[in-house]
Amino acid sequence: MLESKDKLIVALDVDNLKEAERFVDILYPTVKIFKVGSQLFTACGPEVVKMIGKKGAKVFLDLKFYDIPNTVFLSVGTGTGLNYEILPNIGKGVIDATQLAVFMMTVHTKGGIAMLKEAVRGAKQKAEELKIAKPFVVGVTRLTSEENKGDIQSEVLEGARLAKDAGLDGVVCSAQEAALIRKEFGKDFIIVTPGIRPKGAAVDDQRRTATASEAIAAGCNYLVVGRPIIKAKDPLKTAEEILADIK
């Protein structure tokens, strides 16, 4: 069972290493997991991942790999390999993926079954080479910024089934689809949910949002919160309020 502090992921939606480190210093150890997405990784590369890991926090590497199978195989392997420079217990064995600094990363399910299988193989092969646990690999289904039009639940479910068949550990989806995915794929399938907003907060460019307690009730394992914390006058207080809602 995950503790409430293990369920919150704060998205470091900033564009430089100094600002990212400032937020980690403010929020850790109340917040234990930080998302590094395409904006921050483009600006800082692996250095921001190493900075977070060396402080003792964990990284959700959200780069949504979507390319030819061989490129994704290599990219996921490289992401897994970042742990080698961070983990203090390399060579002593790792109990499970939650001990890794880069403990989870994303691929896009629209890349297809062959690409998804290569993503899993890339993580496994590099982890075996380094003698560490394999990080979780989860598939992005539909972005939470997309409007709830058409049969979006069926599309998300189809993406989740593809992820499951390929051997992925779970998916990224909105809270609206989480209960259906949990029912369909069981308790061990990881569900990561962005678009979390405290009650009354601005939704920004998100369309399919939920509060933390609503997402947990729907069966989500990890909740990603960015701007409501990063843009708050008191980021730590806001994070604590969201953690209380999770609990």
Q: How far is CA 42 from the centre of its chain?
A: 17
In which element (H, E) is residue 63 found?
A: strand 58-65
Supply the angle between the helices 113-130 and 152-166 in degrees, to the nearest 10: 40
Geometric angle at alpha carbon 97, from 93 and 101, rounded to 5°: 90
Among residues 35, 64, 126, 134, the one annotated as catalytic is: 64
Q: Are 62 and 106 in contact (CB under 8 A)?
A: yes
Per-position DSSP letters for 103-155, written without gaps between them: EEEEEEGGG-HHHHHHHHHHHHHHHHHHTSPPPEEEEE-S-TTS---SSHHHH
Q: How far is CA 66 from each of CA 31, 62, 141, rounded to the nearest angstrom?
A: 29, 12, 12
35 is catalytic: no
Q: Which residues are annotated as catalytic? A: 64
